[in-house]
Amino acid sequence: MTLKLPPVDRPGLIATRRDIHQHPELGFEEMRTATLIADRLRGFDYTVTPGIGKTGVVALKKHEGRDGRCVLLRADMDALPVEEANDVPYRSRHSGKMHACGHDGHVAIGLEVARRLAPVSLDGSVKFAFQPAEEASNGAQAMIADGVLDAPRVDAAFGMHLWNDLPVGTIGVTSGTIMASVDQFEIVIHGRGGHAAAPHQAVDSVLVAAQLISALQGLVSRRRDPLEHAVVSVTEVHAGRAFNVIPARADLRGTVRTFGGAFFNAAPRLIEETAQGIAAAFGAQVEVHYHRLSAPLINDERLTALMRDVAADLVGSANVRQGVRTMGGEDMAYFLERVPGCFAFVGSGPVNGRASPHHSPTFDIDEESLVIGAELLSRTAVRYLES
Ligand code: NI
């Protein structure tokens, strides 16, 4: 790297993260967060456009460079409907809302990268996308629809997730598919209500639900090529209000996760067929609603190699982990569907001991990971524009 960047402002980075942690906002409600971001970025002399994808913020620093390329750095900024159980000075001040996935850290890192890149003369333009509503999987699409990848056209995109499954000081950088598609299904089972003591006069929606839940597990174990990754989880079951009444209706919801491939394509049909078949066997009717929420996240091979080199310089090649993948989803996938890039996992768990998992009420990070994340994204942007 030929450019000299200002050093990371560790106390500032941590203070920003804690400030945002105290004021969590759910998807598309990130008003305070977006205002804070826009104000800071204007202070760094970026061209700032708020309201991209509802509450999203875009910042641009234009440099002609040799070939007029533009690199996009993306940070998501939404919190979760979780009640924080940590007793820390920077505990969430909004009851029932919490930054339980580390997006507070992503915002702080994004702002610190913007601050460091602001004074240097880059060999091309840099654009920041502070994205709303990652958890609901529709913030990225909203920003793309509002033109975040245009004017100037984005040539490459990078991002990262703080990752408690990895100890701080390690970085996961893996080429190819690293995060899953996220599909959601809802199944409404219509039976016929009746007396619990006279099941032959009713069509028992609860029994159909039970059979269907079991049958859906057979899709992964028996209808999928075992060499393809897939998960089917039924996560909501609603039926009945009385111990002596067979309810007419039962509702199931759940999710399908894949890394793409034949099972991804077949899943909507397989779920429909299974639901219809099981319902028919018991004389019930079903409605199946199937929604694709997020595509699999695919890292570009060449740009993954570039980011991996940056990571190795930063933490040593022994601490760069390959093969870090998850069946969790990430709507960064929509950016990487349109432009090549790489999404990395920056270890934020304790070196010894077990971290609280993402989305749990005791989730927290080792804040040293913020420094590593800020270095990783800053240097990746510079190296990409120099490459
Ligand atoms: Ni997340």
* Cα 373 to ligand 1 centroid, rounded to whole Å: 14
Find residue 171's DSSP bridge partners.
320, 346
Can you give the residue range of the structural domain that contains 303?
10-176+297-386
- In whole angstroms, give the CA distance from residue 130 to residue 139: 10
What confidence tens digit (pLDDT) does each residue in 173-191 have?
A: 999 999 999 999 999 999 9
Q: Are residues 70 and 205 in the same domain?
A: no
For residues 301 and 285, state if they share a domain. no
Contact in structure between 285 and 190 (CB atoms under 8 Å): yes
* Band of pLDDT at residue 200, cut at 50, 70 and 90: very high
Average pLDDT over residues 324-347: 96
Ligand 1 centroid to residue 225 C-alpha, Å: 29
Q: Which of 70, 74, 75, 61 is nearest to 150 (CA)?
A: 70
- Which ranges in the chain belong to alpha helices (H)? 10-22, 31-43, 103-117, 139-145, 205-218, 262-281, 301-315, 332-338, 368-386
Residue range 339-356: average pLDDT? Answer: 93
Per-residue pLDDT reduced to its tens digit, 207-244: 999 999 999 999 999 999 999 999 999 999 999 999 99
Taking the centre of ligand 1 as the mean of its atom positions, its distance from the CA of residue 306, in whole angstroms, is 23
Residues 110 and 248 in one domain: no
Same domain, 150 and 41: yes
**Average of pLDDT values for 158-176?**
97
Q: Is residue 2 part of a domain?
A: no
Q: Calculate how far, in angstroms, residue 78's C-alpha sits from the geometric centre of ligand 1.
A: 9
In total, how many domains does the chain have? 2
* Mean pLDDT along residues 255-263: 96
CA distance 188 to 173: 41
Angstrom distances, CA of residue 288 to CA of 20, 142, 190, 291, 361? 39, 26, 11, 10, 32
Distance 197 CA to ligand 1 centre (A): 48
- Mark whether 49 and 137 lie in a shared domain: yes
Are residues 160 and 304 both part of a single domain?
A: yes
> Cα(128) to centroid of ligand 1, in Å?
18
Q: What is the pLDDT of residues 274-290, one digit of tens each?
A: 999 999 999 999 999 99
Query: In this structure, is residue 319 part of a structural domain?
Result: yes
Residues 58 and 100 in one domain: yes
pTM: 0.91
Per DSSP, 199 falls in state G
Distance CA 222, CA 217 (A): 9
Measured CA to CA, the distance from residue 349 to residue 330 in angstroms comes to 20
State residue 1's pLDDT score.
54
Q: Is pLDDT at 2 greater than 80 in this prediction?
A: no
Q: What is the pLDDT of residue 354?
A: 84
Helix H or strand E segment including 295: none
> 363 and 272, same structural domain?
no
pLDDT (0 to 100) of residue 66: 82
Look at residue 104 and give its three-state secondary structure. helix
- The answer to whether residues 55 and 145 belong to one domain is yes
40 — pLDDT class (breaks 50, 70, 90): very high
Per-residue pLDDT, averaged over 155-168, amounts to: 97
Q: Is residue 1 part of a domain?
A: no
d(C-alpha 98, C-alpha 22), whole Å:
8
Choosing from 269, 294, 319, the residue where a domain stops is 294
Within 13 A of 378's CA, how many CA atoms are on the CB side? 28
pLDDT for 245 equals: 98
Contact 71, 124 (CB under 8 A): yes
Tell me the C-alpha distance between 92 and 354, whole Å: 22
297 Cα–ligand 1 center, Å = 13
Q: What is the mean pLDDT of residues 323-347?
A: 96
Contact (CB, 8 A) for 191 and 202 = yes
- Considering the domain architecture, whether residues 127 and 170 belong to the same structural domain is answered as yes
CA–centroid distance, residue 25 to ligand 1 (Å): 14
Instruction: Please give the pLDDT value at position 68.
Output: 86
Q: Which amino acid is at 186?
A: E
65 CA distance to ligand 1 middle (Å): 33
Distance in Å, CA 84 to ligand 1 centroid: 16
CA dist., res. 80 & res. 26, Å (int): 6
Alpha carbon of 102 to ligand 1 centroid (Å): 6
Average pLDDT of the segment spanning 255-273: 97
E strands, 218-369, in order: 230-239, 245-246, 249-258, 285-294, 297-299, 320-321, 341-349
Residue 144, domain member (yes or no): yes
- Phi then psi for residue 202, to 5 deg, are -120, 170
